[in-house]
Chains A and B, each alone.
Chain A
Amino acid sequence: MKVLVPVKRVIDANVKVRVKADQTGVELTNVKMAMNPFCEIAVEEAVRMKEAGTATEVIVVSAGAQQAQETIRTGLAMGADRGILILSEASLEPLAVAKLLKAVVEKESADMVLMGKQAIDGDNNQTGQMLAALLGWPQGTFVSKIEKADGGLKVTREVDGGLENVALKLPAVVTVDLRLNQPRYASLPNIMKAKKKQIDTMTPEDLGVDASPRLTVLKVVEPPARKAGVKVADVAELIDKLKNEAKVI
């Protein structure tokens, strides 16, 4: 089974994100970037499937600027076999990424797409679902467990109020949640091997996809600062405020 793992380069989760002065977006210059944590979990799962013998090849693919190649190399250092970079200096919306991924899936005849449920930058949570729809494949989203079942997969989804078990026929799109696994550290031999692994570069035009944006960002602003709280003298005052000011009881 050939597994395709899309990965996204995002601002490192530990960085304090700042809005640009002109409010067109967030500051990206001189900011530490890293693989989106949910993508890391997807790579880990794919590599485990390869180690268990259920996957035959793991391909990491990233759509973005040239530096996204580093994110692909990180995936290769974790144990993926080869990479594909879809080079686009323009920013890509979820639908465009889904279309690009569809083209790669078809080109590679992949049997499964394993990806993060969302990227921590835009928090859109759309690409996996859109990709499944475009491919006409079944989808399992917010997955915290994946098992191989005859002819398909059994996945556990984290939904409001509990866990849901779903059987999927292959080929399928699976988007992963935080509790699926704990991604490994890249080992030294794999870091050194990653350099020699193949990364193919292509453009949206090569894939015949129109990736131009359909949305316009009007303005990006900092969330409002949290206001200081108030001290109340006693329980009676608290109850009074909850009733009459906050109107929650």
Chain B
Amino acid sequence: MDFALNHEQQLVVETVRAFVESELYPLEAEVERTGVVPPELGREIQAKVKALGFYAPNIPEEWGGGGLDHLTFTLVERELGRAAMALTVWWGRPSNILCACNDEQKQRYLLPCVAGERIDCLAITEPGAGSDARNLATVARRDGSDWVLNGSKHFISHADIADFAIVFAATGEDATAKGPRKRITCFLIDRDTAGFEVRPGYATVSHRGYHNSVLSFDDCRVPAAQMLGDEGQGLEIMNTWLYATRLTVAAMSVGRARRVFDLTAEWAATRRQFGRPIGEFQGTGFKLADMITEIDAADWLTLAAAWALDQDLPANREIASAKLYATEMLGRATDNAVQVFGGMGLVDEMPIERFWRDARVERIWDGTSEIQRHIIARAILREHGE
């Protein structure tokens, strides 16, 4: 057993960290102040990342991506997690699901995304279908050789800067032993398709400048060539290509927690009250001890799940554990950070309140903590049941 990163992985970590610290940190205050990243700035970040050869690091080399294995890609996500998501979204990591494209679709969607010419967004969630993603109400009806979509999606991240959406819709219902089941199918919908509209979504407490949108489909007609995978295969391709993306949420939480920890440790060592650094009071020192212990635990849990994926070992339960633990750890760590900073932890001249706000969404998106616990419990019971 060897816990050391190899030299390539070390260099990857160093490069991403250095880029994030010197190219992205200086932009953050302005993003927090204005709540927007001007598209020109986004394009600039994109161009720098492309020049570094780090664009689309998750996509296999044969499609022009970086071809990183899960572990190394998880390290990239971990370091990116340090910086504001409104900025790191421009460090393109196209959805892995685009690898399910057929050859013709690869030319129109996967390759341009890898080249940074197009940006994708992923639309599953609906007002009536959150955790219960199967229960979606968006429908696609066959009409001749076309499909006609009706319905709406909400909370769709970075749809405002996307050129197309990867959309899940019901194309009918199948009778099963457990009752009727929606037949779910995936479509690629271009931004300018008639009947498809992207509207600003909700202002949220987390990740200023990283916007979500409402997508609506009103008799939105697309040719059959826009179907990703086969009809009724939506859940299968979702499970094949998206189940590992939860790990990126875990990794980003670890990276951000380390950044918060460094700031907090420094504050505890230098802020003096009652004639000594506040870190010397047990109430503060023990917070630091808990923070670093939990950060390390979350880090290893996350890397171990990524490693298992690379070994083709079952990792669904492990990924759920990592997502659950890392995001809850981040919540505790940022809350402790606010406490250690005292009043200064709440003011917007300091970054601490922002990390505290940003942390909150991690326990909700990509499957809530409860859903992760559900996955973990189900896996355990399956193993121990008859």
Residue numbers of A with Cβ under 8 A of B are: 70, 73-74, 77, 185-192, 194-195
Minimum CB–CB distance for A109 against chain B, Å: 29
Contact A73 B53 (CB under 8 A): no
Q: A interface, by DSSP: helix, strand, loop or mixed? A: helix
Residue among A187, A188, A189, A195 making CB contact with B7, cutoff 8 Å: A195
Chain B residues numbered 24-76 whose CB sits less than 8 Å from any CB in chain A: 51-54, 57, 66, 68
A and B contact pairs by CB, cutoff 8 A, 16 listed: A73-B11, A74-B11, A185-B52, A186-B11, A186-B14, A186-B15, A187-B15, A187-B51, A187-B53, A188-B52, A188-B54, A188-B66, A191-B8, A191-B11, A194-B7, A194-B8
Minimum CB–CB distance for A68 against chain B, Å: 12
Closest residue of chain A to B48 (Cβ to Cβ) is: A185
Which chain A positions have C-beta within 8 A of B18? 185
Which chain A positions have C-beta within 8 A of B53? 187-190
Which chain B positions have C-beta within 8 A of A73? 7, 11
Give the contact-size bracket for chain B: 10 to 19
> Which of B8, B11, B12, B57 has the most chain A CB atoms inside 10 A of its CB?
B11
Contact A185 B19 (CB under 8 A): yes
Which chain A positions have C-beta within 8 A of B68? 188
Which chain A positions have C-beta within 8 A of B8? 191-192, 194-195
Chain B residues numbered 228-285 whose CB sits less than 8 Å from any CB in chain A: none
Given pairs A185-B18, A192-B8, A195-B8, 13 additional interface contacts (CB within 8 A): A70-B10, A73-B11, A74-B11, A186-B14, A187-B15, A187-B51, A187-B52, A187-B54, A188-B66, A188-B68, A191-B15, A194-B7, A194-B11
State in angstroms the CA–CA spacing of A187 and B53 once bound together. Answer: 6
State in angstroms the CA–CA spacing of A70 and B9 once bound together. Answer: 12
Minimum CB–CB distance for A152 against chain B, Å: 33
Minimum CB–CB distance for A86 against chain B, Å: 19
State in angstroms the CA–CA spacing of A242 and B35 once bound together. Answer: 52
Known: A70-B7, A194-B8. A188 touches B57 (CB 8 A): yes
Minimum CB–CB distance for B70 against chain A, Å: 16
Minimum CB–CB distance for B150 against chain A, Å: 43
